[in-house]
Amino acid sequence: FHPSNRSVMGFEPNYDESKIPEYTLPDPLVTQSGSPVTTAEQWNTVRRPELLALFEKHVYGVSPPPCPIRRKHVSSKTVFDGLATRTEIDVLFGSADDATSMRMMVYVPKQRAGAVPAFLGLNFQGNHGVDDDPEIELNPGWFRVGRDGTTDGNKANEKSRGATASRWPLQMILKRGYAVATIYYGDIDPDFDDGFNNGIHGTLGDQVAHVAPESRWGSIAAWAYGLSRGLDCLEAETDLGIDAAKVAVLGHSRLGKTALWAGATDPRFAMVISNNSGCGGAALSRRAIGETVGRINEAFPHWFCDQFTEYNENEDACPVDQHELIALAAPRPIYVASATEDQWADPKGEFLAAAAADPVYRLLGTDGMGGDAPPAKMPAAEQPINSGVVGYHLRTGKHAVTDYDWQQYLDFADRHMKDGR
Ligand code: GCU
């Protein structure tokens, strides 16, 4: 996203805290009919399903039921001087002849005692953008026009090889004993508004025909659906050496929104990580600071379901807010990360959302953000809150994924996904 685009549609973002409208957050521990939720059982059987259905209906849209996948091995190779095995697998959605397929690229450390935990995340610029090995096929699909000469029209070119490598410090992750799996998000659903025809919207779309049109899955839901099918693949590929019960789903920005929705809808994900996910991700919509619901729906009409446009400049009317999305991951560990120069994504709103999810985590018997209560104040930059199961940090710098972010995720994962810790 380019800052100069922010006013393209006459939208001037507010960055002034004093101009935030007064708001009351919906209480995750009170049902729509007003009953307090005081036990884990009430959460699991009543409130959690209710919130999931509300997010489907009002925000992300309803996705089809899981389809069976088919898997085709493409390649397997030892990489990074013997550090890891890289395997590429095409995953097909369903059994139809015209099934959409996504290519998953998986790195597993060679040195391991048993099956290892893994990170699974979508990427923006193709698997060939994650690492510049020329043996990784240049993804032939549709790409957003790159700012840095990495595309010709809507096709990736040779310059895009390794273009997002800084976001994927593969060797650092592998050396810490984790596997990494990634998929180009455009394989699942190309990121433009085409009336929900291309990608899995087209090939699986008839399965949501019974859903009211305004509440059918948008692109974020489609990408999250792809992440779940990616997890199906990791579960089936037992020879890879990955412990599929310990897979953290992670994502940056729009793909951070996607990781949160995947973690909410698919409880098999053992951990959820949101990197700079902002509006429609970890940030509270009701704060209406930086990017707003109205702005995001106007700029990206295909990301959410149409019902979400009802809350343009009208956030209070939405029955849910994003702290409840975070709560839907409970009691599983979740980590929310912000960056100081990413005010568009409202770092403070991301922190407040994590803190407002804390009571649900505590009701479910965890220590939430740690200590006796969530911190009342947002932490300073580089002061991660990571003693509990809800982690948060603010990093100095721009909208990005850096080694610092990864170090926090790895430390957090060590605490929650490694045996004997
Ligand atoms: C835009 C958009 C954000 C999104 C970001 C991204 O900035 O407004 O909501 O998170 O793109 O995905 O890079």
- Which residue in the list 201, 252, 393, 399 is annotated as catalytic? 399
Catalytic-residue membership of 323: no
- Whether the CB of 391 sits within 6 Å of ligand 1: no
Q: Ligand 1: distance of its center to the CA of 252 in Å?
A: 9
Residue 3 is predicted with a pLDDT of 42
Return d(Cα 70, Cα 221) in angstroms, integer.
21
pLDDT at 337: 99
The per-residue pLDDT for 2 is 39
What are the pLDDT digits (tens) for 27-41? Answer: 999 999 999 999 999
- Greatest CA separation found in the chain? 60
- pLDDT value for 265: 99
- Give the pLDDT confidence score for residue 146 in this predicted structure: 82
Residue 276 has pLDDT above 50, yes or no: yes
Pairing mode of beta strands 101-109, 116-123 = unpaired
Tens-place pLDDT, residues 335-352: 999 999 999 999 999 999
pLDDT of residue 6: 42
End-to-end CA distance of the chain: 40
- Supply the pLDDT for residue 164: 96
Chain segment 178-218, per-residue pLDDT in tens: 999 999 999 999 999 998 899 999 999 999 999 999 999 99
ipTM score for this prediction = 0.98
pLDDT computed for residue 11 by the predictor: 85
- 224-246 residue pLDDT tens: 999 999 999 999 999 999 999 99
Distance 349 CA to ligand 1 centre (A): 15
Q: Are 340 and 279 in contact (CB under 8 A)?
A: no
Q: How many beta carbons lie within 10 A of that of residue 272, not counting itself?
A: 26
pLDDT, tens digit, 9 for 90 and up, residues 247-266 = 999 999 999 999 999 999 99
Atom of ligand 1 lying closest to residue 252 CA? 12
pLDDT attached to residue 9: 57
Residue 4 has pLDDT above 90, yes or no: no
Radius of gyration of the chain (CA): 20
Q: Is the CB of 67 under 6 A from ligand 1?
A: no
- Tell whether the model's pLDDT for residue 371 goes beyond 50: yes
Judge whether residue 1 has pLDDT over 70.
Answer: no
CA distances from 223 to 6, 217, 250, 260, 280 (A): 25, 10, 12, 11, 14
Q: Evaluate if residue 370 carries a pLDDT over 50.
A: yes
Q: How far, rounded to the nearest angstrom, does the alpha carbon of residue 122 sit from its chain's CA centroid?
A: 8
Phi and psi at 33, nearest 5°, equal -85, 5
Whether the predicted pLDDT of 87 surpasses 70 = yes
Q: Please give the structure tokens belonging to residue 67.
A: 């389809």
Segment 113-135 mean pLDDT? 98
Residue 43 pLDDT > 90, yes or no? yes
8 Å CB contact between 200 and 216: no
- The Cα 242–Cα 246 span in angstroms is 8
Report the chain's mean pLDDT, rounded to a whole number.
Answer: 96
Distance 278 CA to ligand 1 centre (A): 8
